[in-house]
């Protein structure tokens, strides 16, 4: 049993937070057993003036793009060809993959991210290195290699006959590892896959109860080429026809969908990974967050590193605020915190995390706001909108420390 004394800020509902300016927080066997006003008891650690927050949830991030953050070579298809594919080809070298995996996992933990949905490169060995690093570091993740078998540079192509058995091997070794790791099925996007690859991916995900994830309707040229190549009436139907539109599907971007596509998306119970900073950096367009909210579609936030320019989910929440304003929706800081924590966790099928609540698993991070931040509003302002904020001081998963900033 560990008892902390700290200031506490946690989402209480999609629109409300709970703030305790002096709290006792107790966790035992990886779960919170008590959270309430401090009552004078002895503590194991006094974390004040730090503010204890739930761990953040990054629903869309690319592990092999860790070293190319800031490559301003967009829009999307140019950026993929000039910056992304050349870097991802380097992940054929397992030594490179292992070194980047280490850095990637440290960046997540330093950002306070305790659960991520991480795309790999096509290389099964690189994904193996990522899982091994996540397992050692103690983070939670849903991850897998991307599947690509068409219209991409030769070194990045993997035929169905090789890619899917490799993926099943990863499932055998890592799916369910320590209750923290899950393997996902990730056809990169329609433009890098044959119809057969998409169908086989949808089937494999359904048969094994795995998450399936891909990019959807990010860039207008991408949408046109995809529909033309697949002879499809709209972009979503490409994935729908492959059996990939279910409540275990996470779609990144979702910018240029028609009303009819949104209706089918909502009916299926699929999840939006909203990546507003990436959408700005590649000039992809605005995500209609009002439509998503109006239709009660589950939404989680994605940094989308490296088209997104930060591993910090709170920094991306600031972009989500800006995106909202541009499409006529003013999101409150409380709603933003929900999206980046509890809302994201629920959308990704992790009801056991995402808030500081008795009974939930003890995933948390410690934020050091400026000394004048004395209430929830001031802490939220600094957390989300101060782009110069430092890394988290500490991060824990199930009460085990996974990050401590130098000097903290």
Please report, as ranges, the residues that interact with Zn ion according to CB under 5 A: 252, 304
Q: Check: CB of residue 305 under 8 Å from CB of residue 273.
A: no
Shortest CB 313 distance to Zn ion, Å: 15
Cβ atoms of 68 and 91 within 8 Å: the answer is: no
Assign residue 82 a region (left: φ > 0; alpha: ψ between -120 and 50; beta: otherwise).
alpha
201 binds, among Zn ion, ligand GUN, none (CB under 5 to 8 A by kind): none
In this complex, which beta carbon is closest to Zn ion, that of residue 109 or of residue 186? 186
Pair 111, 389: CB distance under 8 Å: no
Q: Are 135 and 181 in contact (CB under 8 A)?
A: yes
Select the residue interacting with ligand GUN from 4, 38, 91, 189 (CB under 6 A): 189
Nearest CA to 252 out of 224, 232, 222, 229 is that of 222
- Determine the interface stretch with ligand GUN among 14-22, 39-47, 76-84, 383-391 (rule: CB under 6 A): 76-84
| CB 112, min distance to ligand GUN, A | 22
Answer yes or no whether residue 278 interacts with ligand GUN by CB under 6 A. yes
The beta strands (E) that lie in 354-393 are given as 364-367
Q: What x-and-dash track marks residues 83-112 binding ligand GUN by CB under 6 A?
A: -x----------------------------
Smallest separation, CB 117 to ligand GUN (Å): 13
Q: Does residue 304 bind ligand GUN (CB under 6 A)? A: yes
What is the rounded distance in angstroms from the CA atom of residue 302 to the CA atom of residue 123?
Answer: 22
Of residues 305 and 393, the one with the C-beta less far from Zn ion: 305
Contact partners, residue 335, CB within 8 Å, separation at least 6: 14, 15
State the minimum distance, in angstroms, from the CB of residue 252 to Zn ion: 5
Task: Tell me which of ligand GUN, Zn ion, none is bound by residue 218, counting a contact when its beta carbon lies within the kind-specific cut-off of 5 to 8 angstroms.
Answer: ligand GUN
Q: Which residue, 52 or 163, is less far from ligand GUN as judged by CB?
A: 163
Applying CB under 6 A, does 311 fall inside the site for ligand GUN?
no
Q: Closest distance between ligand GUN and the C-beta of residue 80, in Å?
A: 6
How many C-beta neighbours within 10 Å does residue 125 have? Answer: 17
Ranked by CB distance to Zn ion, the top (closest) residue is 304
Pairing status of strand 212-216 against strand 249-253: parallel
Rounded least distance, CB 38 to ligand GUN, Å: 44
Q: DSSP for 97-116, please give it.
A: HHHHHHHHHHHHHHTTEEEE
- In the list 5, 7, 27, 62, the residue contacting ligand GUN (rule: CB under 6 A) is 62
Please report how close the Cβ of residue 133 comes to ligand GUN at its closest, in angstroms. Answer: 20
Looking at the Cβ atoms of 87 and 166, the one nearer to ligand GUN is: 87
3-state secondary structure of 334: helix
- Give the whole-angstrom CA distance, residue 384 versus residue 297: 23
Query: How many of the chain's residues bind ligand GUN (CB under 6 A)?
Result: 11
Q: Nearer Cβ to ligand GUN, position 189 or 403?
A: 189
Contacts of residue 329, Cβ cutoff 8 Å, sequence gap at least 6: 289, 290, 293
215 forms part of the interface with ligand GUN (CB under 6 A): yes
Interface residue with ligand GUN, options 307, 313, 366, 393 (CB under 6 A): 307
Q: Which residues of 165-198 are buried (b: 16+ CB within 10 A; e: fewer)?
A: ebbeebbeebbeeeebbbbbbbbbbbbbbbbebb
Query: For residue 369, what is the DSSP state?
Result: -
Nearer to ligand GUN (CB atom), residue 223 or residue 337: 223
Q: Does the footprint of ligand GUN cover residue 248 (CB under 6 A)?
A: no
- Residue 19 Cβ vs Zn ion, minimum distance, rounded to whole Å: 34
Listed in sequence order, the DSSP H helices in 59-93 are 76-79, 85-89
DSSP type of residue 15: T
Nearer to Zn ion, 137 or 252 (CB): 252
List interacting residues with ligand GUN (CB under 6 A).
Answer: 62, 76, 80, 84, 188-189, 215, 218, 278, 304, 307
């Amino acid at each position: 049993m560990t008892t902390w004394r700290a200031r506490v800020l946690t989402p209480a509902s999609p629109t409300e937070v709970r703030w305790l300016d002096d709290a006792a927080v107790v966790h035992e066997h990886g779960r919170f057993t008590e959270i309430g006003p401090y009552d004078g008891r002895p503590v194991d650690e006094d974390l004040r003036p730090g503010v204890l927050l739930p761990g953040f949830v990054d629903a869309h991030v690319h592990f092999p793009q860790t070293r190319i953050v800031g490559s301003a070579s967009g829009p999307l298809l140019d950026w993929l060809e000039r910056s992304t594919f050349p870097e991802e080809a380097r992940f054929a070298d397992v030594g490179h993959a292992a070194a980047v995996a280490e850095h990637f996992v440290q960046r997540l933990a330093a950002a306070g991210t305790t659960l991520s949905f991480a795309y790999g490169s096509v290389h099964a060995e690189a994904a193996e290195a990522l899982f091994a690093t996540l397992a050692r570091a103690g983070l939670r993740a849903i991850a897998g290699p991307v599947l690509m078998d068409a219209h991409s540079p030769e070194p990045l192509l993997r035929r169905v006959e090789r890619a899917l058995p490799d993926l099943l091997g990863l499932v055998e070794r890592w799916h369910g590892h320590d209750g923290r790791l899950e393997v996902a099925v990730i056809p990169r996007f329609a433009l890098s896959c044959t119809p057969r690859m998409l169908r086989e991916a949808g089937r494999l995900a359904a048969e094994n109860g795995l998450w399936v994830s891909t990019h959807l309707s990010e860039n207008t040229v991408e949408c046109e080429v995809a529909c033309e190549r697949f002879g499809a009436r709209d972009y979503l139907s490409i994935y729908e026809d492959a059996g990939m539109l279910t409540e275990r599907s996470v779609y990144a971007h979702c910018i240029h969908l028609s009303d009819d596509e949104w209706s089918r998306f909502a009916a299926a119970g699929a999840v939006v990974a909203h990546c507003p900073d990436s959408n700005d950096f590649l000039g992809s367009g605005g995500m209609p967050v009002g439509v998503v909210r109006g239709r009660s579609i589950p939404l989680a936030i994605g940094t989308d590193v490296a088209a997104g320019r930060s591993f910090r989910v709170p920094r991306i929440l600031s972009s989500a605020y800006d995106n909202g304003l541009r499409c006529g929706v003013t999101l409150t800081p409380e709603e933003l915190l929900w999206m980046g924590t509890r809302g994201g966790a629920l959308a990704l099928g992790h009801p056991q995390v995402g808030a500081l609540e008795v009974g939930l698993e003890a995933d948390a991070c410690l934020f050091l706001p400026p000394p004048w931040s004395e209430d929830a509003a001031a802490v939220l302002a600094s957390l989300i909108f101060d782009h110069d904020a430092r890394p988290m001081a500490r991060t824990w998963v199930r009460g085990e420390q996974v990050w401590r900033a130098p000097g903290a």
